[in-house]
Amino acid sequence: MPAINLRALEKSRSLDCDAVIFDLEDSVAPENKGQARENLRAFFAGQPLKGKERIIRINSLSSAFGAADLDLVKALLPDAVLLPKADGPQDVTDIGDLLADANAPEELRIWAMIETPRGVLNVGAIAEAGCMPGARLDCLVVGLNDLRKETGVQPQPGRSFLVPWLMQVILAVKAYGLDALDSVFNDFRDDEGFDVECGQGRAMGFAGKMLIHPAQIAAANRHFGPSAEEIAEAQAIISAFADPAARGLNVINANGRMIERLHLVQAEALVHKARLISARKHAR
HSE, CB side, 13 Å, CA atoms: give it for residue 179: 15
pLDDT digit string, tens, across residues 218-236: 999 999 999 889 899 999 9
* Of the listed ranges 34-43, 135-144, 247-256, the one predicted with least confidence: 247-256
What is the predicted pLDDT for the residue at 284?
A: 61
Q: Is 146 assigned a ligand-binding role in the annotation?
A: yes
State what percent of residues in the chain have pLDDT above 90: 78
| Total-model pTM | 0.89
174-200 pLDDT, tens digit each: 999 999 999 999 999 999 999 999 999
Q: What is the pLDDT of residue 84?
A: 97
> In the predicted model, is pLDDT for residue 154 greater than 90?
yes
* Three-state SS at 42: helix
Q: Tens digits of per-residue pLDDT, 33-58?
A: 999 999 999 999 987 787 899 999 99
Q: What is the pLDDT of residue 139?
A: 97
Dist. CA 14–CA 170, nearest whole Å: 31
Predicted confidence (pLDDT) at residue 79 exceeds the cutoff of 80 = yes
Q: What is the pLDDT of residue 198?
A: 97
- Give the C-alpha distances (Å, rounded to integers) separating 134 from 57, 91, 96, 103, 106: 20, 14, 7, 11, 8
Those residues with Cβ within 8 angstroms of residue 238's Cβ, 6 or more apart along the chain or in another chain? 264, 267, 268, 271
Q: Label residue 202 by pLDDT band (50, 70, 90).
A: very high
> Going edge to edge, which strands form the sheet with 137-142?
19-23, 53-57, 80-83, 109-114, 137-142, 179-182, 208-209
Question: What pLDDT, on a 0 to 100 scale, did the predictor assign at position 253?
Answer: 85
- pLDDT of 249 reads 87
Output the pLDDT for position 20. 96
Strands (E) across the chain are located at: 19-23, 53-57, 80-83, 109-114, 137-142, 179-182, 208-209, 251-254, 257-260
pLDDT band at 277 (very low <50, low <70, confident <90, very high): confident
What's the CA gap between 61 and 243, in Å, rounded?
A: 54
Helix (H) or strand (E) holding 63: none
Q: How confident is the model at residue 256 (pLDDT cuts 50, 70, 90)?
A: confident
The class level of CATH for 6-224 reads alpha beta
User: How is the chain split into domains, by residue range?
Assistant: 6-224, 228-283
When mean pLDDT is compared across 10-19, 29-38, 107-116, 197-206, the lowest value belongs to: 10-19
CA distance 45 to 274: 30
* Residue 107 in marked binding region: no
Can you tell me the mean pLDDT for 133-150?
Answer: 95
